[in-house]
Structure formats: C-alpha cells, structure tokens
Amino acid sequence: TVQTRLPIRVLLLSPRPEVTDSGDPVGYIDHRVIAAPLVQAMENLGEDLVQVDILTPPTFAALKTALKAAKATGDPYAIVHFDGHGVYDRRVGLGALCFESPQDAASLGQRRLHLVYAPELAAELRDVGVPLICLNACQSAQSVDDPQASVAAKLLEEGVGSVVAMSHTVLVETARRFVEPFYRALAEGQRVGDAMLAGQAALYDDPYRFKIMGAGDLHLHDWFVPVLYQERDDPQLFTLRPAVAMQQLVGRQRQLQLGKLPAPPEHSFVGRSRLLLHLERLLAQTNYAVIRGSGGLGKSALAIELTRWLVRSGRFGRAAFVSVEPQNVQDVRGVLDAIGRQLVPHYTVAQYGNDLTAALQPVTRALQDASTLILLDNMESVLPDQHGVNPAGVADVSELLDLCQRLLAAAASCRLLFTSREPLPAPFAAAPNTVELGRLSQTEAIGLVERVMAQHGWSPPASDSAATPEEVAELVETVNRHPRALVLLAREVAHGVRATTHNVAQLMANLEAQNPDDRENSLYASLELSLRRLPEEVRALISRLAVFHDGGNLTNMAMVMGIETEYIVAVAQMLIDVGIAEMKEYSYLRLDPALPAYLKLSQAPEQLAEQEDVWADAMMQLVTFLHDQLFQDSKLASRLTQFELPNLLALLVWLTHKLTADPTLAEVITDFAGRIEKLFAALSRSDVLKRAVFLREQAATIISEQGQVFFEHKRLTVERLLQEGKSTEAFVKAKELLEQSKAIGPFAYKGADYNLAAAHWMFGKTLNSTGQLVLALEQYMEAQRLFDLLEKRGQRMTMVALIDQADCLETLGQLDASAEIYENAINWFEKSNDTYSIVACKVKLAVVLRRQGRYSNALTYLEEARTFFEAHSELDSASNVWHEIGLVQKGMERYEDAEEAFRRSLEIRTNINDIGGQAASLSMLGNLYNESLNQLEGAIRFYQQAIDIDVKLGHLRDEGIDRSNIAAILYKLERYGEARSEILRAIECKRQFSHAADPWLSFYILCLIETAVGNQEAARVAWGQARDAYLAYRRQGGFVQQGNGQVVERVISLISEQKFDEIETLLNQLFNDSESSDWRKAMVQALASILDGSRNPALADDPALYYADAAEILFLLARLGD
C-alpha cells in the first residue's frame, strides 16, 4: 500500500501550445475543462488534507523542477495530472505528450509545441515516486505496434504504480464527465481502481454529452476510453475524510478568501477561455491587467470569473473586490476601506483619520502575508470627461491610481485587475497590459444562448427549432455575438430560431443605417426585438420612458405615459416578461440600462423636451411626497430616494436650466431644491447634497426676502451650518432668522405663525450646539408653546420641541425629568402608530437609563432599536445605536463587547461616508483604550485620527475635547511639553462653546501639567479657571460631574430640613474615614466652617481643595445667601 503524508499534493499541468515549430496552429481545448472539476472535488477537503498546485509555466522543464523540489523537501506529489494534447507518433512508434516550449514561457500567445516522448518522460518520473499519474491526453494509452510504447505503459514500466490514460481521441465533455466522479471517489477514500470504475460507470450510465443546436442531442458510448494501468497495488490515497463541521469551516474560509467578489451569473459563466488563459499568463508576468470594452460585453463577468478561478486554483491566496462607482465609494479612502475590510479583520479606514499611510499599513501586512488579487471594477466611473473634468461624487482618479501604485509596492505578489470602458491613464496605460474585449466566438455565443435558455427552461417550437447548425450560427451572428444582446435574444429564441434571425437581421440593417458603427447597435437590436413582442399601443406608450434615468416609480411612469395608475402595473409586467425591466421595492421599475438611450433614437428633440416637462412635473410631485414621508415613513423615503437618485440629479439639472430661462420661477425652484436637499441630507450623501444646496442658494438670491420659501431657505442654511459643525455661524444666522420672524409677526403671510415657532426652535438648536443649555431650554419651551397654539398644524412639532427639552435636561443631568418626557413622548407616538419615532425615543430613554446605571434596561431598548433600524436600512440611526450599545457595554465593564460595538458603529459610518460620525466613534474607542484597557498609545492614535477629521470638518468643539484627552494621556506619560501644546490648543478650541465642551477639564489638565514642571503660579491660575468654569456650569443648572458635589447636595438638603446634628455626624464620618482623600477632607473642613457661620468666599481659594469642590463651596455660599 502506498503511504502518503498529509496534505496530499496534486500537481496539475494544462499546457496549451498554440503553434507547432512550423507555425501550424494547434487545436485549442478549454484550459479549465479538467482543472475546474478537479479543483471542485478537492477544495471541499481543505488545505490540511489536500494541496492542488497548478504548474506555471506548463513546460517539461518546469515539471522536472517541481517534482524534484517536492521530493527534496520530503513532501512529494501523490498525483500528477496532465491535461492537454497527446499523440502517437507513427514515424517513431512512440507516444508523446504536448508541452509548451520553455523558450516561449514569457510569451502571452503563440507558444510553440514541445513534444516529450514516453521514454524521456518515464525516465524523469522514475525516481520521484508519484503513486498516480492521470493523462487527460488523446491517445496517451495508444500503441499500434508495441503496447509498451504508449506513454501510460512506459510510465508503468518505469515504476509508476497507477496510470489513468485515454485509449482513443477523447471528447472534451467526456473527459470532464469522467474526471468529476473519478476525483470525487478518490476524495471519498476509495481506491484508485474503484474510483476508475466510478468514472467509467458515470459515462456508461449516461451517454448524453450535450445538445447541438441545429443538430439535436449528442449521445456517445465512450465509457471505455479512459483506462487504468496498474502493476500491483491499488492504493487508497485519501484515508481521512473531513467531518461535516470541518467541511463547513472550509467552505466559510474559501468564501473569506474571495472577499466581496460578486456571485457568478445565474446562467453561469460561459466561454472566454482563451482570454482567461491570456490574462492568467499576463498576471503571472506583470503586476496588473486591464480589461477594456464597451457596455454589455461582459468585462465585469470576465474579471470576476478570472479572480474566482485564480483564488480557487491556488494561484492567489486572497481576493478583494471594489466597484468604484459613486453609489459604492465616493473617495479614495472609501476604496481603501472596501479593500481593507476584505483583507484585515475589524478594519476600517476611519480608524486612521486622514493618514492614508497609516491606514495602508495593516493592508500592506495582509498583502505581504498572502498573495492577493484586487479587482477594481468600472474604472470609467472615475475618469475625467473630454474636458478633463473629474466626475462628481467619485474617488479622485489621481489619488486612486496613486493608491493602486502603493498597493502594488506593498508586496511583490500583489496583482491588480481593472475593468474599464475607456483607457486608463499612466501608469496603468501600457498596451501589453490591456486586453481589449471583443464579441464572443461563434461557439461561445451559441453556448451562451443555450445556457440561458436551459436555465429558464425555454425551448424553441418544434416547427422552428433550427434544423441545421448553420441556422444557429446565423442567429448569433445577427447581433454580432454581443453577450448582453445574446442574453436578451435567448428569450426570443423560445418563439422560433428562423423567425428571430430574420427579425434581428432587419433591425440591425436599420440601426446601422441610422447609427453607423455604433457599438451599441447589437444591444439595441435585441431590445427592439423584445419591444416588438409588446402590443402596438403599449409600444407607443413605452417610447415615453426615454426621459427616465435608470428607472422610475410606476406612478411617475403612468403620468408620463398619460395612463391610469391601474394600467401601468400591467405595462410594467409586460416589460418584465420580455426581459427589459426589473421590479424593485415600493413599485420602482428598473429599466434595462440601454433602453432609455435606445428609445431616444427614434424621437425628435421637441418631442423629448415635451415628455421631459411632464417627467419633471411628475418628479416634483414625487419630491413633495418623499419630503412628507421623511417624518411618516422614513424607510420608504430613504429607499425610494436611493432608487430615484439618478432621476433626482437629473431634475436638479432641469431646474437649473429652468431658472436660467425664467428667473420668475426662482421661488418654486428654491422650494424644490430645498426639499431635494432634505432628502439627500437624510441619505448622508454629501456629494449629491452639495448640488441641491448650490441650486437652492443660487435661486434664493432672486426671491422676495419674506414668505414661506425665503424662511425655509434661511432655515436650511442654518441646518447645513449645524451639520458642518459651524455652530457659531449657525447661531448668528438663527438669531437673525428669529429676529426677522418676530419683526414681521405671525400674520404677515400664510404660515408665518408656524415659522415663528420654528425660528425659536432653530435658535434653540444652535444654542444647544454651543453649550448654552439653559438658554436653549427656554427657546424650546417657547417653541413648544407657539406650536401648541397652532393645534393640529403644530402637533408634531410640539412633541419635537418637548423632546428637545428632554435632551437638554438629560445633558444637564436632570435625568428623571428627561426620562418622564421621553416616556410621555413614546405614549403619544404610540397613539399615532409612529413606529420610527417610538423607537427613536426609546434610544433617547436608553441614554438616560445608562446614565442612571440601569444597563440591562438600556440594552433591551437599544437592541430593539438596532433590530428595527437595520431591518429598515436606516444605517445612520443604526450606527448611533451601536455607539450607544458600546457605551452601555463599557459601563457594564464588558470591554471586548464595547470595542466591537464601537467598531461596528465606525464601520457603518464609514460605509455611509458619515465623516463626523467616524470621528465620534474614533474618540469613543480612544476613551475605551484610555480609561478601561489602559492602552495609552493606542488611545492616542484613536484620538489623533479623530482630530484629523475634526480639523478637516472645522469641528472646533470636538477637536478641543479630543486634544484634551490626548493631553491627559501625555501628562500620564510625563511628556509634559507635548501635553502643554495639546492642552493650550484644546482650550482655544473650546473657548466659544461654553459648558458644551467641558472647559474645566482642560483647565485642570493644564494645572496638573504646570504643577508637574514646577510652574506653581501658572498652575494656580489654571486651577482658578477650572473652578470658575465649572461654577458657571453649575449655576446654569448643570448636574454634578466632578468631585464631592453630592456631599454638598446632601448638606443642602439637611440644612433645608434643619437636621444639623445629622450634618455634623456626616462630616465627622467623612473626615475620619481612612479612605477619604485629602481633597475630601479639605472640603469637609470648608463645610464645617460654613456651618459655623462663615460666609467668606476665600474658603474656596484653598489650594488643598479639588477645583470642582471649590466651585461647589462657592455655589453653596450663593444658595445660602439666596
């Protein structure tokens, strides 16, 4: 019995020489026809049991080297599988295998054939001890004059234990059908002889090989062609089988290796074998390849199939996929983030702020650890137009190409694969690295149509099913073998082959006459054929879809077509039935990408302009509807806005043209631009938001400075300033808006009373953002009063203003009062079945519960909210909930769970390009590493990354907080110079934000730093600033945050109850408690002096007091005086 060690090694070589020495062509066989089933059979076993290596280049010299190297390392190959051509040379009476010439190893094509005869092959294999050799080569077991002269017999003669070979010219499909059960049986632990019988039995039991369109089914009785040669033993190569759990684990690992690579087409990948081989050879020699071609030729499908195959066959250890279209990534950081997440556990680019070099480091290590193929799809999306202008909302092409260069430089084994409709700029413009994708070959085209029809169960009628192969060939030639056109054509073939050919030929002739040499003509012809299956009256209606972009809501389509809404459903189903549309959620119908462009060809500009006006009117009605849904059904508003994004962007362009043509429309355009702006803001898409803001501001310059539209324009300006972190500017604008609203009064125009209430509310928001919480509370209360006077019109905003009051109270530490408001709000929203608002209030209530230490209750509400928001694709809200879950887990001292939650929040915020949210998550991770995990250097990195974002966004308050945190750590590390620089900048940043930025913390850190370096005078000044800032906060209603304030609160309570004996007892206990700090004892002494009658403010100047305790002493004296 042959003894093999684990993992069992399999060497596969698939030489594909293209020409002989004399230049004659060599027949081509799909280079994966045997390799794919072999890999499929082996990959479920896992790398611990089997290792499949594919020989590159497949030359005889490379084979000898590989076999000798394997034996020398004590890890020889157990199976060598040759998949290629074999011949029996009658001139010399010897069998031979066809290798590729070693002189052509660097050539991408036209590699010459190198014949290796049986004796030479056997001599080389004699000493390497391979137990099993499989020869998928025609005539590899054939010998007319001397049976021993065949390749198989010669190998057996030289000591190879088992040889599987082909006794006759073998059909490629037969070889494939044999290999699948043969290797499956081996992998199941059967002996070689039994596996051979399994393969032969599969051929015998099912003689069907395939269907030949135009000729019928092919059946062959060729089970005897594969033969087994054995001298003595019948080895069992695989003696272990992985358990089901292990197979599942292997499957998951394999999926991880493929990253986010999209699934293959439903009809599976068909053809392109020569191109796949060319690209394999190219990537073996150079570090990038570009697949270029027009729309519908299958660039992405080819690149995805190549990537999947190269990973499955072991040429690369990992793959990463990213489509650079704007709906996927908006900048180079997004591209790196998408790649990093597939290669590095828990990776997020946001963790590194704006430091792309630091963000690249973990990706670089991953690239160095495993050979990686990175596929960047749809590169045409980032290329500049003919004027050199880069598209909006996509990664900058120069930055992206620089990133690509850095990825390649990270590891010699890294490879990049691009797809693009247009040529790429340098340094990825080399002609040898670019593969121009053309039409399918005739055989491939026929195969694609067959596969699509088989997948759907379609078949042509018996009366017109193609009687000859020529009819089938003529069919695919009508659309020039265009892949996407063929997929559409397959549906038509079900109605007859000759009829379809005739119709398409006529269409192509007409299209060529109208659009000579248009690359899309083949696709247009298939679309036209599909459209012809529609009733004539429906065709007339469908033409109006030319003005839609990507697709549209059925109601809008009905308006543009001028039909009833009930009828549009039937029309949509007809489009779906002929394969040129797809129904999505919320009655959104996505059209074939080429359909609107094709429909425009047959219509005059005037006709299209008229239809566009109707479309624009329908879109504005949709905008109004979606705007209203923002507060009623946020999921619907979000999903439909995403679907309608191409139409909404086109509407902005249409409105811009209208404003130029007719400035009197400025008020209407300002209004609608503002509504679109709010829809885009809810999506967190800053790239498209800018376009709506630009149009609103442009139109607003020529409208009346009074009225509903002007007010909303000004309000939206404040909203954007707040969103951008420009709190001071927002405060100024909101104050102006409030003063204007008060000046004109509540009766100046319809809705002025509502806007006056809204102006108070907006001013309250800006006060809140600058930390003036008590003043904000007053404005919210006034807004609530005014909204309440409006009765039904102001009902919802009454509740919103009340909830904002609760937010202020929560921040001020009045937790019970805020919780009561949230609970009342939940009850109110329950009566109106407003689920979204109910869940949002529960999140706010959870914050209060967390601060009260009721972690389990808080977590229950948060998990409910997380489930709801994720189910409704409310990613922004989901990220906020994950953030809160992290805080709860931190409070429960579940630090690993807390980190996971913060990272999950960061991941979502990165995906939706919420830059400010990323900074908040990074800051929270910094707090966790600093306060709970004691990983100070790690905390500094997180804080610094947050600061990078703060600076970029101009968020001074957040920058001040993060710098203050860094300064505190640097103080701990005794890096006092760096700490002083950071804290001085932090104090400057916080200056304009009052209590909202906790300035007392920064002043006290400065005090500690100055004390540490011996600068007592500066330390004393900083101590006083910390005390005074904290005192101002407490006087404005702030809750106790620092020091022994709760002791003072207890003393105040006892004084009001005249329980002086209890006060004395309390103070004595605290002073004599061995665990009481010096700060506490100093405070007890100050309190004792006050109880003895002293009202001297100098009590709070004692340097022995903690700054917050000193503030509490002054606050107590003020209250006693009152």
CA 445 to chain CA centroid, nearest Å: 33
Asked whether residue 149 carries a pLDDT value surpassing 70, the answer given is: no
Q: What percent of the chain has pLDDT over 70?
A: 86
Q: Which residues make Cβ contacts (< 8 Å) with residue 44, sequence separation at least 6?
A: 187, 242, 247, 250, 251
Residue 518 pLDDT level (bands cut at 50, 70, 90):
low
Residue 248 pLDDT level (bands cut at 50, 70, 90):
low
Q: Is 824 exposed, middle or buried (0-12, 13-18, 19+ CB in 10 A)?
A: middle
Of 1002 and 41, which is predicted with more confidence?
1002
Q: What is the pLDDT of residues 319-340, one digit of tens each?
A: 999 998 876 677 888 899 999 9
Residue 397 pLDDT level (bands cut at 50, 70, 90):
confident
Q: What percent of the chain has pLDDT over 90?
A: 32
Q: Round the CA-based radius of gyration of the chain to a whole number and report it.
A: 37
In whole angstroms, give the CA distance from residue 442 to residue 465: 18
H/E run at residue 26 = none
Asked whether residue 251 carries a pLDDT value surpassing 60, the answer given is: no
Q: What is the pLDDT of residues 822-833, one digit of tens each?
A: 999 999 888 888
DSSP symbol at 379: G
Asked whether residue 243 carries a pLDDT value surpassing 60, the answer given is: no
In whole angstroms, give the CA distance from residue 152 to residue 155: 5
Question: How distant, in Å, are the alpha carbons of 739, 755, 783 from that of 759?
Answer: 9, 6, 8
In whole angstroms, give the CA distance from residue 256 to residue 344: 11
Asked whether residue 500 carries a pLDDT value surpassing 80, the answer given is: no
Q: How much is the average pLDDT of 452-470? A: 65
List, in order of start, the domains of the chain with CATH numbers: 8-230 (3.40.50.720), 258-438 (3.40.50.300), 439-533 (no CATH), 537-703 (1.10.10), 1040-1121 (no CATH)
pLDDT of res. 128: 79
Question: Encoding tokens for residue 647?
Answer: 């139409």
Q: What is the pTM of this model?
A: 0.67
| 168-182, 285-299, 684-698, 882-896, range with the lowest pLDDT | 168-182
Average predicted confidence (pLDDT) for the chain? 84
Give buried/exposed letters for 449-480 (b at 16+ CB in 10 A, else e).
bbbbbeeeeeebeeebbbeeeebbbbbbbbbb
Residue 192 pLDDT level (bands cut at 50, 70, 90):
confident
Cβ count within 10 A of residue 43: 18
Give buried/exposed letters for 75-88 (b at 16+ CB in 10 A, else e).
ebbbbbbbbbbbbb
Asked whether residue 7 carries a pLDDT value surpassing 80, the answer given is: no
Q: What is the pLDDT of residues 66-107, one digit of tens each?
A: 999 988 888 888 888 898 888 877 787 788 889 999 999 888
pLDDT of res. 387: 66
- Find, among 394, 347, 335, the residue nearest to 906 by Cα: 347
Cβ count within 10 A of residue 657: 12
pLDDT of res. 145: 42
Residue 351 pLDDT level (bands cut at 50, 70, 90):
confident
Question: How distant, in Å, are the alpha carbons of 84, 85, 144, 155, 1070 from that of 92?
Answer: 21, 18, 11, 18, 109
Q: Which residues make Cβ contacts (< 8 Å) with residue 491, sequence separation at least 6?
A: 456, 458, 530, 578, 579
Q: How much is the average pLDDT of 1099-1103? A: 88
Q: What 3-state class would DSSP assign to 418?
A: strand
pLDDT of res. 825: 92
Q: How much is the average pLDDT of 782-809? A: 91
Per the CB < 8 A criterion, the answer to whether 311 and 375 are in contact is no
Asked whether residue 790 carries a pLDDT value surpassing 70, the answer given is: yes
pLDDT of res. 726: 81
Q: What is the pLDDT of residues 900-948, one digit of tens each?
A: 999 999 988 887 778 888 999 999 999 999 999 999 999 999 999 899 8
pLDDT of res. 466: 59
pLDDT of res. 472: 67
Q: How much is the average pLDDT of 146-153? A: 58
Q: How much is the average pLDDT of 885-898? A: 94
- Find, among 847, 869, 867, the residue nearest to 858 by Cα: 847
Question: Encoding tokens for residue 887?
Answer: 């805080």
Q: What is the pLDDT of residues 1069-1095, one digit of tens each?
A: 888 888 888 888 888 888 888 888 888
Asked whether residue 763 carries a pLDDT value surpassing 90, the answer given is: yes
pLDDT of res. 239: 64
Asked whether residue 1033 carries a pLDDT value surpassing 90, the answer given is: no
Per the CB < 8 A criterion, the answer to whether 303 and 447 are in contact is no
pLDDT of res. 491: 66
Residue 365 pLDDT level (bands cut at 50, 70, 90):
very high
Query: Rounded to the nearest 10 degrees, how much is the dihedral formed by the CA atoms of 227, 231, 234, 239?
Result: -110
